[in-house]
Amino acid sequence: MSLAISHLSKRFGRQWAVHDLNLEVPNGVILGLLGPNGAGKTTTMRMLTGYLPPTEGEAWVAGQRVDADSVAWKSNLGYLSERNPLPDDLYVREYLAYTGRLYRLKENRRCVDRALSLTGLSHMASRKIAVLSKGYRQRVGLAAALIHSPKVLILDEPTNGLDPNQIAEIREVIRTVGSETTVLLSTHIMQEVEALCDSVAIIHSGALVAQGTTAEVLASGSEEAVVVGFATPVDKSRIEALVPGCRVLAQPSGEWLLQGYGGTPDSRALLVRICSERQLPLSSIYARHSRLEEVFHALTAGNGQPVQKNS
């Protein structure tokens, strides 16, 4: 297990920002950490990277315990923080070489070249960081996070504030790196998770509310539904009579969403038969695939007040 989190908790005053978090991320998995603003994503990541001591619980990176009093585990961990602070006065190569020296890399120059090439920065190596666009600054942060080829990479909203082209390019870098590194990334973009992540963890008010492969989480949180189109116009009330107990909603395409109707092939075949018996031939019928956004809304609805606990 590359990354293991056990009963991890953080309290600020009386407020639990993270409460009893348990997670295991296997080698080579890209895990998307989702949650509304204030859910505890950054706090979790700060504890995993040793910036913030946990109030309770512990974490292991590549089998080594995250411990403020030791540095051994840090060689296995790379971190791109939410704010990505960079020294504006340094040149890109200079900054990466400096970062490499902090890790005491033996072949520092080769590592810098590799990080530059992985993040598409080779042509920017001799630019001053101060003149870089936001997307390129993000790449520098990413290059610094992976300069020592860590086994685990923690990225706090790596594509936040970037234009669509930059987002696609940064995702490509993460995908490439993620093929041999365990990545934990936080994001508010659901498509990012669907496009990039093998697994998802959703936290709400500091607690885990869903976890699994992206497909499992998608399947768990949403109601079954079927979309149908009729060959000729049909009143909503007639459709409601066909599928008692389901919500019938008109779709912009002219089709109808039957919410709560079973999405299995058998239940669809039954519906085709019923419709044909009632002289209402169908022009289309398919199971509606749930979207992560709906699952997210369902699981994180409410005011998201952080857990209060006396202790």
Ligand X SMILES: Nc1ncnc2c1ncn2[C@@H]1O[C@H](COP(=O)(O)OP(=O)(O)OP(=O)(O)O)[C@@H](O)[C@H]1O
Q: What is the DSSP string of 184-205?
A: EEE-S-HHHHHHH-SEEEEEET
Taking the complex as a whole, how short is the minimal distance between the CB of residue 172 and ligand X, in angstroms?
24
Q: Three-class SS string for 270-301?
A: HHHHHHHHCCCCEEEEEECCCCHHHHHHHHHC
- Residue 39 touches which of Mg ion, ligand X, none (CB < 5 to 8 A by kind)? ligand X
Q: Environment class of residue 123 by beta-carbon count within 10 Å: exposed (0-12), middle (13-18) or buried (19+)?
A: exposed
295 counts as binding ligand X under rule CB under 6 A: no
In the complex with Mg ion, the residue whose CB is nearer, 100 or 158, is 158
Instruction: Decide: helix, strand or coil at residue 64.
Output: strand
**d(Cα 217, Cα 237) in Å, to the nearest integer?**
34
By beta-carbon proximity to ligand X, the closer residue of 28 and 38 is: 38
Does residue 72 contact residue 103 with C-beta atoms inside 8 Å? Answer: no
Among 9, 42, 49, 159, binds Mg ion (CB under 5 A): 42
Q: Shortest gap between Cβ of 189 and Mg ion (angstroms)?
A: 14
Q: Which two tokens stand for residue 262?
A: 């079973």
Asked if residue 48 lies in contact with residue 66, where contact means CB atoms within 8 angstroms, the answer is yes
If the CB atoms of residues 38 and 120 are measured against ligand X, the closer one turns out to be 38
Site for Mg ion in 78-117 (CB under 5 A): none
Q: Which of 211, 227, 239 is nearest to 289 (CA)?
A: 227
306 binds, among ligand X, Mg ion, none (CB under 5 to 8 A by kind): ligand X
Q: Side chain identity at 31, as an amino acid letter?
A: L
Size of the residue set binding ligand X (CB under 6 A): 11
Residues 13-72 close enough to bind ligand X by CB under 6 A: 17, 35, 37-43
Nearer to ligand X, 39 or 299 (CB): 39
Least distance (Å) from ligand X to the CB of residue 112? 30
Q: Which stretch binds Mg ion (CB under 5 A): 1-9, 40-48, 66-74, 137-145?
A: 40-48
Residue number, 116 or 201, with CB nearest to ligand X? 201
Question: By C-beta, is 42 or 159 nearer to Mg ion?
Answer: 42
Which DSSP symbol is given to 94? H
Which residues would be at the binding site for ligand X (CB under 6 A)?
12, 17, 35, 37-43, 306
Which residues would be at the binding site for Mg ion (CB under 5 A)?
41-42
